[in-house]
Amino acid sequence: MKMRNPPVNSLSLEFLTELLISLEKLESDKAFHAIILTSDCPGIFSAGLDLMEMCGRDPTHYAEYWKAVQELWLRFYLSHLVVISAINGVNAAGGCLLALSCDYRVLADNPKYAMGLNETLLGIIAPFWFKDTLVNTVGHRTAERALQLGLLFPPAEALQVGMVDKVVPEDQVLSAARSELAQWLAIPGHARQLTKSLMRKPTADRLLKERDADIQNFVRFISRDAIQKALRVYLEKLKQKKT
C-alpha cells in the first residue's frame, strides 16, 4: 500500500477514508495475507493528521474527522493481516501512530527521516490511545519522555529506543520489509492472528469503550481558542520556513 497524498501525505478526511477503504478491500480478499505500508511522496512517509481538518472548522466536522482517525487506528491496529511499514521518509504524529500500529517497522537510514509523536510541539496533546500505542512499543519511561518533549527520533535513536525494528540503507527499505514478511507468513495464520489479538485487544478496547467520550473530548479540546491559535501559529511557521 503506497500512500500518495502530496505534498506531505497529511491524513485528511478524504485520505483517511481512502486508506480505510483500501484496507477493508485487502482484508476481505482471502488471497491477501499481508500489507507493506510505504509512501509514494519522496522523503516523506506522513506529516500526520491534516492540520487543515483541525483548524477553523465547526464541531460537527471535528467530530466526523476524529471518528475517522479512530476508525483508521482501530482497523490497522487490529488487522488480521500482517502489516509491515517500510518507512521511507519523515514521519510525524498521526503518521507515526500508523507505523506504530504495524506489526514490524523498517526505517530508511537517512538522518532527515525522524519519527515520533511530536504533538506537544504544536501545543496539543497525544490522545490516550496514541500514548498507549507508543508505550506498548517503547515502554513507559521512553514514551513519557518522548511524549512530553515531542521528540522526533532520527533512525539510529528510533532503533535504539525500539520505535523501529530495523534501519537499512534507503534503497533497501522495501526489500528488507519483504524479507521480514517471509518470517511472519511462515507462522500458521490462525495462531499468529489470535496472538496478535491477545496482545492488542486490551489497548483497543480502552478506546472502543469510550469512543464517543473521546470524540467529545477531542471536539472540546480542539475548539478552544487557545488551541486554534496555537495550530494557526504552527501552520504559519511551516509556511514561513519556505521564505
Ligand X SMILES: CC/C=C\C/C=C\C/C=C\CCC/C=C/C(=O)SCCNC(=O)CCNC(=O)[C@H](O)C(C)(C)COP(=O)(O)OP(=O)(O)OC[C@H]1O[C@@H](n2cnc3c(N)ncnc32)[C@H](O)[C@@H]1OP(=O)(O)O
C-alpha grid cell, residue 123: 501545543
- The H-or-E segment that residue 43 falls in is strand 43-46
Q: State which of residues 14, 17, 32, 52 lies at the interface with ligand X (CB under 6 A).
A: 52
Residue 119 annotated to the active site: yes
C-alpha grid cell, residue 68: 475517522
Bridge partners (DSSP) of residue 2 are 38
Query: Does residue 16 touch ligand X according to CB under 6 A?
Result: no
- Which one of 97, 119, 122, 231 is the catalytic residue? 119
Whether the Cβ atoms of residue 48 and residue 96 lie closer than 8 Å to each other = yes
- Which one of 94, 95, 116, 150 is the catalytic residue? 94
Query: Does residue 132 touch ligand X according to CB under 6 A?
Result: no
Site for ligand X in 168-227 (CB under 6 A): 217-218, 221-222
Whether the Cβ atoms of residue 93 and residue 131 lie closer than 8 Å to each other = no
Site for ligand X in 63-92 (CB under 6 A): 90, 92
Query: Does residue 50 touch ligand X according to CB under 6 A?
Result: yes
Reduced to 3 states, what is the DSSP secondary structure of residue 125? coil
C-alpha grid cell, residue 66: 476524529
Q: How far is CA 61 from the centre of its chain?
A: 21
Locate cell 482484508: which residue?
Answer: 27
Closer residue to ligand X in complex, CB, 81/150: 150
Residues that bind ligand X (CB under 6 A): 7-8, 10, 44, 47-52, 90, 92-94, 118-119, 122, 124-125, 127, 217-218, 221-222, 235, 238-239, 241-242
* Catalytic residue set: 49, 94, 118-119
